[in-house]
Amino acid sequence: AVGKTIGVRNTPWPDHNRMMASRGIVAAFAVLSVMVFGGTGTAAADTGTSNGATYTVVTKSVDPGDGWTVDVGQLSGGDQAVASAFNAASVASGRTMGGMLDRDEVIRDDATFEAKPEVSFRPTAISQVLTGVYFHQGAAHPLDYVTTVVIDSRSARPITLDDLFADPQAGLNRLSEQTKLLFPGLTGEPSPMSDRPGNAPVEENFHNWIPTADGLEIHFEDYQFAHGLPVITVPWSKLTDVLAPDMQVLAR
C-alpha cells in the first residue's frame, strides 16, 4: 500500500508556535532530540493469508472531514466477514488520524500530509499500522502520527488489549515492565528506564500494537517519550503467561 502526499490549502489555523508549544515540543526537542525514530517494524504486504483465507490489499483515500485526506488499507477476497470488519476498522483508524490533526490545530496553509498504511498477516490475525507525517513549510521538523488495527481472522472481530490479556491490568503491568527494559536499547540510556508518564501501565500508552512472529510490536506516539515514533517488540515468551487462553495462538 502506498501513501499519497497532499498539499492542504484552506483557512489558516491558530498560530503554529502556540500549537507547537502546547505539545511541549520546544522543551522536549531541546532535551531529547536524540530520540528521533520513524517507520514501523513490520513490512507491508500486498497479499496475505490468515486463517486459511487469502486477501489482496489495496489503498483507499478517506476524507475524515475538514479537508484532510488519509490513505488506508482495504482488503478484498478471502472471508468476506473478516474483510468487511478490517475495512471498517481501517477507515475508522484513518478518521481517528484526521481527528488527531484537528486536535493539534495544525496550520493548513503551505503544509503537506502523508499517510502510509502497512498491512500484515498472521495465522489468526490481520493488522494495520497507519503512520502519518505532517509538515509545515518552514517548520523545524514534522509531526508524526500512528494508529493501529488488529482483526481476529477467526471471528471477524477487533482484538483490543482487554481481549488480549486474561487480566487486562496484569497485561498492562507486563507491557510497562518490558518497556522499561527494552526501550533503553533504542536510546542507549541505562536499563531499566525510570518511571515516566509514557511507560505507566495504562491502556492509552499501549493501545497501538500489532502481533508479529517475534512478539507484540508496540508503536509509541509522537512525544510519548520524545519526537518520533519509536517501536519495540516484546517477545511472546515474556507475555504467554498473561495472554488470554484464546489469544495464546498469537504466540505460535
CA distance 148 to 146: 7
Q: For residue range 34-61, list pLDDT tens digits in order.
A: 333 333 444 456 999 999 999 999 999 9
pLDDT at 85: 98
- What is the pLDDT of the chain when averaged over all its residues? 84
Comparing 9-13, 46-50, 158-162, 243-247, the range with the smallest average pLDDT is: 9-13
Residues in Cβ contact with 47 at an 8 Å cutoff, skipping those fewer than 6 apart:
54, 55, 56, 57
Residue 123 has pLDDT above 90, yes or no: yes
pLDDT at 45: 61
pLDDT at 11: 27
Mean pLDDT of 125-145: 93
Residue 206 has pLDDT above 90, yes or no: yes
Question: pTM to 2 decimals?
Answer: 0.82
Cis peptide before 192 (omega within 30 of 0): yes
HSE, side-chain direction, 13 A CA sphere, residue 175: 31
Band of residue 235 on the pLDDT scale cut at 50, 70, 90: very high
CA distance 6 to 114: 7
**What sign does the dihedral 39-43-47-52 (CA atoms) show?**
negative
Q: For residue range 65-119, list pLDDT tens digits in order.
A: 767 889 999 999 999 999 999 999 999 999 999 999 999 999 888 999 999 999 9
